Structure 1
Amino acid sequence: MECGWTSICLKDLISYLPDGILVSILSRLEIEQAARTSALARRWRYLWTFTSSLIFKFCDWRIVDHEDKLFGLKCRQFVDWVNHILKFHRGMIIDEFSIQFCLDDNIFKSDIDGWINFAFRKRVKRLKFNFRCTWTNGNWNYPLTAHILHYHRLDSLTSLYLCHVDVTREVLEYILFVCPLLEELSILHSRSLFWDFKDSTKETKIRRPKHLHKSLKVLELNGFIGCKADLQIASYILGSTVSLQEIIIDPSHPNKWAPEDPDTQQLARMRARQHLETRLPFGTQLVLR
């Protein structure tokens, strides 16, 4: 007597699920894996283009062979691949858009501009750009300008992580002003904020916040040296938020290949504690790394 379970097990039960559930499953896969499902069957051909999670990783910079003569070609291929995926994406919104890419010059600036425009057109919730490149001098940061942000509504953003992205104080103020749902903000290795020793004694005027930010919960300041500009930026953000739970101060040098000075780092922590601890809103914790 033949078992009825055999015929049931041979059926493609997954394909009978609604499109929304299948897209939700694909959104939990890496984009390469999700794209490969287009070969499964006709119905699967375009499902991956509706994924709500787009995470791209060029490589692990710790194992990159920067002397590889084909490295530049590999960079170009990665950028073209990202552009190709974004061109075919059909979803109306995305929950997460993340790119980890070894950026060392401005030849891909127009491509990155396109990635930012794409993310905000899709009403992104969590945005992460990590352009760290540890084996070079890192003389170029991608400049995030208010001009490119003005073209989009940013009120869907809940988490923003920017590494080796040049963010000015004006852009920082603008982000806080137009992102009412922002809960996490991390800005690391920004040339215009938190680590120019030449301007460590420069007094910078920052406007008082016009509106209080009601959603920001976590703020991380990397490359903090305790200069007046650092303290003013931290004070500005503390004075413009009402829900901040944690402010993280990291005095480590943004360029990891540079020698660390324990005395300088300790002095930065002392300045942070001295100037910020008494200004912390109720319920906000100061974390010194």
Structure 2
Amino acid sequence: MMPPKGRKHCRSLLPDVLSYLPDNISDVILMHLPCKDAVKTSILSKKWRYHWCRLTELKLDESLWKTKKDLLNPTVKFTKIIYQLLTLHEGPITKFTLNVAHLESCPEIDNFICFLSRNDIQHLVLHLPLGKMYKLPSALFTCSQLRHLNLHNCSIHHLSAFQGFNKLISLELCGVTISSEVLESLISHCPLLEQLVLDIAENSNTVEINAPMLSSFNFSGNISSICLKNVPCLVKASLECDYIKAEDLDFAKVFESCSALEYLLFNLFNSGYSGRLRYEGR
């Protein structure tokens, strides 16, 4: 039985349609696919071969290397993928997400971060393994185009060559090992910072937040270690405090310059007190 003429005609045109799609439409299609599937489009036609190498947004997670018959160590597979990206990718990468939180240890990604620093990275998300803290290379702090930075489970040391993130508007640090001095310096060198999320329970020293454009602040840890020194635009604050009594809070010190504050939420948890304080309105 012969197939209908319309269907046969459609099938014969399909390769041509794919081959002659404008680049901007091809880019949109690829960006909506998981990275693994985007790479597979290389088999569609000569035009699609290695088209994924020009993607400006990339997301790498365990779905790239996890299979039912894993013969190679996940870290080895990940290292091979990173090498291919370094070798084949062309043009800028404006958004990059790396989620390897489930690996036993952090693979070597210093070279790739250096690669991103030279390719106009604007949005960077790193979710790293919980084990030994990965020390971020100094190249990360030369990414002058960064607008969003999200870091999980890593360590930040001295910022000797750091000139500031002059375009950064959101910063999230969770499970990050960092000294009070370095944290203060990092925040104060982000003049456009609007959103700040900190989950740094190990830092017991006082940290002064100097962020004149900050409008939203979420903090988890010990509230006595935070002083909102210069935050005239702060509208919303959410603070989760561990191991501190409500009567020990120095509100004058914590909220030294919050003239625009409209919403405040406290969650207090410790052996002697468990409660919730909420404030709305000025």
Corresponding residue number in structure 2 for 1:255: none
Distance 1:145 1:264 in 2: 31
Corresponding residue number in structure 2 for 1:40: 44
Whether the 8 Å contact between 1:225 and 1:268 is mirrored in structure 2 is no
Corresponding residue number in structure 1 for 2:134: 142
**Residue 186, structure 1, aligned to residue 190, structure 2:** no
Distance 2:166 2:241 in 1: 38
SS at match of 1:42: coil
TM-score by length of 1: 0.68
Whether the 8 Å contact between 2:241 and 2:266 is mirrored in structure 1 is no
Distance 2:50 2:166 in 1: 34
Q: Which runs of 5+ in 1 are unaligned?
A: 65-69, 195-203, 253-261
Deviations along 1:73-116, whole A, 9 cap, x unmatched? 222112222222332111x211211111145557x3xx310121
Q: How many residues align?
A: 240
1:212: how far off?
A: 6.4
Pairing 1:1-289 to 2, within 5 Å after superposition: 7=9, 11-12=13-14, 13-58=17-62, 73-90=73-90, 92-102=91-101, 104-105=104-105, 108=107, 111-133=108-130, 138=131, 140-146=132-138, 148-149=139-140, 152=142, 154-168=143-157, 170-171=158-159, 177-193=163-179, 213-224=190-201, 227=204, 229=205, 231-232=206-207, 235=208, 238-239=209-210, 241-251=211-221, 264-265=242-243, 267=245, 271=249, 275-280=253-258, 282=260, 288=266
Q: Report the more deviating stretch, 29-38 or 14-23.
A: 14-23
Q: Which runs of 5+ in 2 are unaligned?
A: 223-239, 268-282
Q: Which has the higher contact order (CA 8 A, sep 6+)?
A: 1
TM-score by length of 2: 0.69
Name the CA shift for 1:283/1:121 in 2 (closer, same or farther; >3 Å): farther
1:247: how far off?
A: 1.2
SS at match of 2:98: strand
**Which letter maps to 1:163?**
H
- Which structure carries more helix by proportion? 1
Corresponding residue number in structure 2 for 1:201: none
Alpha-carbon RMSD: 3.9
Larger Rg: 2
